[in-house]
Chain A
């Protein structure tokens, strides 16, 4: 997994990730608290993140591709953390105020478990086909279209389509 990390190994970009993640997390938290409002899908969320990040002078990305790689990684991270927190709080439920009704809770737990399974499958995919795994990150976690993924990676659309089809089958087969 480390060799597919979209982060350069020098410190400045690692610090960037921390900022991107914190921003995304804050945005996602606001999303959650305004349940009644129209919610953003992944594409809209990442786009809004891009706009907000762009306003900060301190943070500039060499090109948009780099930003989307960060955003995808941050979203994946956010999802996994939430999934872990959910499962953990469920395990130690005695001090958790129940804020979800039973049906929502079941959905939350199922999704959390699936998320961790997806994460593991994606790790496995990275081992066997790193670019296919990148396509999944940009497509699923950053909400890019396959056309945009092709542009971002600088690879022909046809190739990206094949990558996506294989990756999807690979992950779904793993997740059972």
Chain B
């Protein structure tokens, strides 16, 4: 602003306007000799601060030289030198995990490189954008991270993905983006000679992508053809979404830079005016882009004319590849709807534009469907009201007219507000939550700090009394509180809040609103946590469907996939559960990068799904990977690391690596015990599995310790009257069987069975107990009892996919019906057993020895001594690695092998086997073990051609 005269007068330190300015005194003093200067200052500057300032000015005036000691501006610029980042970062330099290849482009506020990194041996090519501004303060870095995370959550096939972002040690911020190979949309359209309709359809894809971003509260701010690419296969990819936001310097710095990252031709008026930008800003740029796409010519910035009026033979020929005669046809097609649509999108007043990119898309769709569009030329009323607003003084207004103007104005203001509300709401919710935690942050004494429970109750109460909060926020917060209650284990409260969230969203929001979808997810999750898989599955599947339809990915999707996997599992769809777990893992890595701590749970879930499918060879390395990941991110004593270790132990156990599982469970349970938290479900599971394992290994001391933990934790954490506690009792019983105490075992099995009741959900558990009770009956010489129990038990066991328990039960049934000629075996039982055995043949599960010993007895009963002998000769050494020599099952198998050898006429081998077993039995004090009873009895008498082999 030239020609402005003297600027603001100097204001004194105390805000009092002095009669004369500092400059006045300074200039007055300049002409005076030193002594008179002092007198002048005495007279006119009684304030010592002011006087000192003037004295400094006079001293500075007396010095020689330029403003900068280096010389004039050009000279100073040379002395400082040009340190552009491209120069400082040659090919091969590293930024974060990426190696730079070449500079793709350099702009005022950033430099773009082609770069790559190796991920699991695969070369991942990315575009790295290095921001020119540095982020030195913790606040600036936090802000950058927050925005980066918002961008990372933005997932849409039409938007180039933000892969990673970080801050180098030098304080430079960078972002890694999906590298897109494509042409600017305008070039693509002319190169492929797209007709008008094809161009509009392509442009709709652009609008949809922009709409998705706006819903995630992200504004592009710099939409232009070079940011809207079309790949060779015709897919639209938007580049640099929200990057302008990251580039924008904070308010203080903005004063210095004077301009923002923007491209003048596509920038909306509010951007030039440096007013806050919002979704309407992008709508404006879309309008300019649409104009250029359909006319083949970018409009001049001051041009508010219609697209159809601007068509020229040259540009149309270049853009459409048609003969100039096509111009009039095209003009005819643009005139009317498309002209109006472009004008509405590019209205200089933001409130007159389409409210969203989606609304713009819908109007174009209406045009394509030959329906009337919303856009129309400004009405006379509108122009009149504008005129009135501009010439208030000159127009005589009636009160009525004035009221009408004010009404229309307030509606316009309200509309402009809607777009901003999104961002405002995100802030409001954040503030609300932060206010809840205020007492925790501001150094309250630990004893007075509220518990998480209290905090949540406080939050819910506060929400009830927050009438000013809008519905979307309320729904979001209710869902969030529901989630938090779940984490605290208060599933009932969680479910109630989730129900409220869904009810509110159904009353006030669209089903496709992200808040509605999140509420639905929360309700489904709460149901799943209460093992209500049917209701939970309905909600979660619907939410999943809507998310996919809306292009919502990232955290919201991840939150959904976990419980959905649990639903699939509960329905026996292990493969589907595994697919979901893998999808979630990929989503985690995509959203947060491979090194984010939150990726660990993704590995955990995949491992867990693999275990569920009995694919132990894959589950074990995946658990190991999970464990290493958690160890690296959370340290050795974290609950995450412990969980992974327990998972590794569990899969090792199920795969039959009992010795290894023994050591791993020991480690995991020691960590659980040390943490001393209220027992978690996973912790109880781990103790129960360890209890069964030690029992089966016949390691009585370990079994006692583990089973003690399992019982204590299930009772303390979940109640002594729960099915979960029944599991602990049942687990303990397995050890009693191996210890030979059938009475104690039966007592525990009965107690467990009582806790399971007749709940159909516990069918598998009941089947497990009945199979064991049948095993005891067989040992006690009551095959009829076993024959009675087993068919139903097998059916129960088959409700879960694990193969080993039903296999044992089937072998028991085969033996039981062999011994009860009155009720012969089901006809296909033999075939089923052989089939199941083949399925686990590759596994070295020691429990296969249980099965083979049973089957050998069946064969002996059918005079197939040779088969029995071959079976046991093969089976015993396979189990030897994980069973101690004095294990009753091993000894029983050896005794039955002696029987089989004797029946085959090999008395020498029979005697050797019997003698070896006998020695170990004596040594271990196992003579009275019921497992050994029937074989021992047989061996005390002559068998076939051999004499008694035991005394």
Interface residues of A (CB under 8 A from B): 1-7, 9-12, 14-15, 17-18, 21-22, 28-29, 31-32, 39-42, 44-45, 65, 69, 73, 75-80, 82-86, 88-89, 91-97, 99-100, 104, 107-108, 110-112, 114-115, 118-119, 123, 126-134, 136, 140-141, 143, 152-154, 162, 165-166, 168-173, 175
Q: Which B residue sits closest to A129, measured CB to CB?
A: B7
Known: A114-B68, A168-B67. A128 touches B8 (CB 8 A): yes
Known: A6-B1, A28-B82, A112-B80. A11 touches B60 (CB 8 A): no
The complex places the Cα of A11 from the Cα of B268 at a distance, in Å, of 9
The complex places the Cα of A134 from the Cα of B68 at a distance, in Å, of 17
Q: Cβ of B4: which chain A residues have Cβ within 8 Å of it?
A: 3-4, 130-131
Determine, out of B256-264, B378-386, B760-768, the stretch whose residues face the partner at the interface: B256-264
Q: Which A residue sits closest to B132, measured CB to CB?
A: A85
Residue B3 at the chain A interface, CB threshold 8 Å? yes
- The smallest beta-carbon distance between B280 and chain A, in angstroms, is 16
Contact of B75 among A41, A126, A162 (CB under 8 A): A41
How many residues of chain B get a CB closer than 8 Å to chain A's CBs? 70
Contact of B1 among A1, A4, A96, A168 (CB under 8 A): A4
The complex places the Cα of A76 from the Cα of B132 at a distance, in Å, of 18
Q: Cβ of B273: which chain A residues have Cβ within 8 Å of it?
A: 9, 11
Q: Is the CB of B57 within 8 A of A18?
A: no
Q: Cβ of B272: which chain A residues have Cβ within 8 Å of it?
A: 9-11, 14
Residue B444 at the chain A interface, CB threshold 8 Å? no
Q: Is the CB of A97 within 8 A of B90?
A: yes
Q: Is the CB of A86 within 8 A of B72?
A: no
Residue B88 at the chain A interface, CB threshold 8 Å? yes
- The smallest beta-carbon distance between B82 and chain A, in angstroms, is 5
The 5 closest A-B pairs by CB, nearest first: A92-B170, A11-B272, A130-B7, A15-B264, A172-B60
Q: Is the CB of B2 within 8 A of A82?
A: no
Residue B637 at the chain A interface, CB threshold 8 Å? no
Q: Is the CB of A111 within 8 A of B79?
A: yes
What are 24 inter-chain pairs, A to B, with CB distance below 8 A?
Answer: A6-B1, A11-B273, A18-B259, A31-B74, A41-B75, A42-B72, A83-B80, A88-B134, A88-B170, A89-B88, A89-B170, A107-B70, A107-B79, A119-B256, A128-B10, A129-B6, A131-B4, A140-B67, A152-B2, A162-B27, A165-B30, A168-B60, A169-B57, A171-B67
Residue B335 at the chain A interface, CB threshold 8 Å? no
Among A9, A21, A22, A129, find the residue whose CB has the most chain B CB atoms closer than 10 A. Answer: A129
Q: Which A residue sits closest to B22, measured CB to CB?
A: A128
Among B5, B72, B74, B80, find the residue whose CB has the most chain A CB atoms closer than 10 A. Answer: B80
Q: Cβ of B259: which chain A residues have Cβ within 8 Å of it?
A: 14, 17-18
- The smallest beta-carbon distance between A33 and chain B, in angstroms, is 8
For the complex with contacts A79-B80, A114-B70, 19 further pairs of A-B residues with Cβ separation under 8 Å are A11-B269, A29-B84, A31-B74, A41-B74, A75-B77, A85-B84, A91-B134, A91-B170, A95-B88, A95-B94, A95-B170, A97-B88, A99-B81, A107-B79, A115-B80, A128-B8, A162-B27, A166-B26, A172-B61
- The smallest beta-carbon distance between A60 and chain B, in angstroms, is 14
Interface string of B245-277 (1 = CB under 8 A from A): 000000000011111000010010101110000
Q: Which B residue sits closest to A24, measured CB to CB?
A: B77
The complex places the Cα of A136 from the Cα of B68 at a distance, in Å, of 12
- The smallest beta-carbon distance between B350 and chain A, in angstroms, is 14
Q: Cβ of B302: which chain A residues have Cβ within 8 Å of it?
A: 12
Q: Is the CB of A154 within 8 A of B80?
A: no
Q: Is the CB of A136 within 8 A of B67?
A: yes
Q: Is the CB of A153 within 8 A of B74?
A: no
Interface string of B265-303 (1 = CB under 8 A from A): 001010111000000000000000000000000000110
- The smallest beta-carbon distance between A150 and chain B, in angstroms, is 12
Q: Is the CB of B56 within 8 A of A173?
A: yes
Q: Cβ of A21: which chain B residues have Cβ within 8 Å of it?
A: 108
Q: Is the CB of B81 within 8 A of A32?
A: yes
Among A44, A93, A110, find the residue whose CB has the most chain B CB atoms closer than 10 A. Answer: A110
Q: Which A residue sits closest to B71, measured CB to CB?
A: A41
The complex places the Cα of A56 from the Cα of B86 at a distance, in Å, of 28
Interface residues of B (CB under 8 A from A): 1-10, 22-23, 26-27, 30, 53, 56-61, 63, 66-70, 72-85, 87-90, 93-94, 108, 132, 134, 136, 168-172, 255-259, 264, 267, 269, 271-273, 301-302
Q: Is the CB of A11 within 8 A of B1?
A: no
Q: Is the CB of A77 within 8 A of B170?
A: no
Q: Cβ of B264: which chain A residues have Cβ within 8 Å of it?
A: 11-12, 14-15, 18
Q: Cβ of B89: which chain A residues have Cβ within 8 Å of it?
A: 95
- The smallest beta-carbon distance between B423 and chain A, in angstroms, is 24
The complex places the Cα of A77 from the Cα of B257 at a distance, in Å, of 7
Q: Is the CB of B6 within 8 A of A131?
A: yes
- The smallest beta-carbon distance between A3 and chain B, in angstroms, is 7
Contact of A32 among B10, B78, B257 (CB under 8 A): B78
Q: Is the CB of B78 within 8 A of A39?
A: yes
Contact of A15 among B10, B74, B76, B301 (CB under 8 A): B301
The complex places the Cα of A127 from the Cα of B132 at a distance, in Å, of 29
Q: Is the CB of A118 within 8 A of B255?
A: no
- The smallest beta-carbon distance between B764 and chain A, in angstroms, is 60
Q: Cβ of B1: which chain A residues have Cβ within 8 Å of it?
A: 3-6
Q: Which A residue sits closest to B269, measured CB to CB?
A: A11
Q: Cβ of A94: which chain B residues have Cβ within 8 Å of it?
A: 169-170
Q: Is the CB of A131 within 8 A of B5?
A: yes
Q: Which A residue sits closest to B172, measured CB to CB?
A: A92
Q: Is the CB of B80 within 8 A of A166?
A: no
Q: Is the CB of B170 within 8 A of A82?
A: no
Among B7, B134, B169, B269, find the residue whose CB has the most chain A CB atoms closer than 10 A. Answer: B7
Among B53, B60, B77, find the residue whose CB has the most chain A CB atoms closer than 10 A. Answer: B77
Known: A29-B82, A92-B168. A173 touches B70 (CB 8 A): no
Q: Cβ of A39: which chain B residues have Cβ within 8 Å of it?
A: 74-75, 78
Q: Is the CB of A82 within 8 A of B80?
A: yes
Known: A3-B1, A15-B301, A88-B171. A41 touches B72 (CB 8 A): yes
The complex places the Cα of A151 from the Cα of B69 at a distance, in Å, of 28
The complex places the Cα of A89 from the Cα of B82 at a distance, in Å, of 11
Q: Which A residue sits closest to B264, measured CB to CB?
A: A15
- The smallest beta-carbon distance between A145 and chain B, in angstroms, is 12
Q: Is the CB of B171 within 8 A of A91?
A: yes
Q: Is the CB of B6 within 8 A of A172?
A: no
Known: A95-B88, A169-B58. A131 touches B72 (CB 8 A): no
The complex places the Cα of A101 from the Cα of B273 at a distance, in Å, of 45
Q: Cβ of A173: which chain B residues have Cβ within 8 Å of it?
A: 53, 56-57, 59-60
The complex places the Cα of A5 from the Cα of B1 at a distance, in Å, of 7
- The smallest beta-carbon distance between B300 and chain A, in angstroms, is 10
Among A111, A143, A162, A170, find the residue whose CB has the most chain B CB atoms closer than 10 A. Answer: A111
The complex places the Cα of A17 from the Cα of B72 at a distance, in Å, of 22
The complex places the Cα of A44 from the Cα of B69 at a distance, in Å, of 20
Among B3, B58, B90, B136, find the residue whose CB has the most chain A CB atoms closer than 10 A. Answer: B3
Q: Cβ of A140: which chain B residues have Cβ within 8 Å of it?
A: 66-67, 72-73
Q: Which B residue sits closest to A76, measured CB to CB?
A: B73
Q: Is the CB of B73 within 8 A of A143?
A: yes
The complex places the Cα of A124 from the Cα of B39 at a distance, in Å, of 28
The complex places the Cα of A160 from the Cα of B571 at a distance, in Å, of 87
Q: Cβ of B168: which chain A residues have Cβ within 8 Å of it?
A: 92, 95
The complex places the Cα of A119 from the Cα of B73 at a distance, in Å, of 12
Q: Is the CB of A153 within 8 A of B81?
A: no
Q: Is the CB of A86 within 8 A of B81?
A: yes
Q: Is the CB of B2 within 8 A of A153?
A: yes
Q: Is the CB of A42 within 8 A of B73?
A: yes
- The smallest beta-carbon distance between A130 and chain B, in angstroms, is 3
Q: Is the CB of A31 within 8 A of B23?
A: no
- The smallest beta-carbon distance between B4 and chain A, in angstroms, is 6
The complex places the Cα of A170 from the Cα of B59 at a distance, in Å, of 10
Known: A85-B132, A114-B69, A169-B57. A11 touches B10 (CB 8 A): no
The complex places the Cα of A45 from the Cα of B168 at a distance, in Å, of 36
Q: Is the CB of A108 within 8 A of B81?
A: yes
Q: Which B residue sits closest to A128, measured CB to CB?
A: B10
Q: Cβ of B90: which chain A residues have Cβ within 8 Å of it?
A: 97
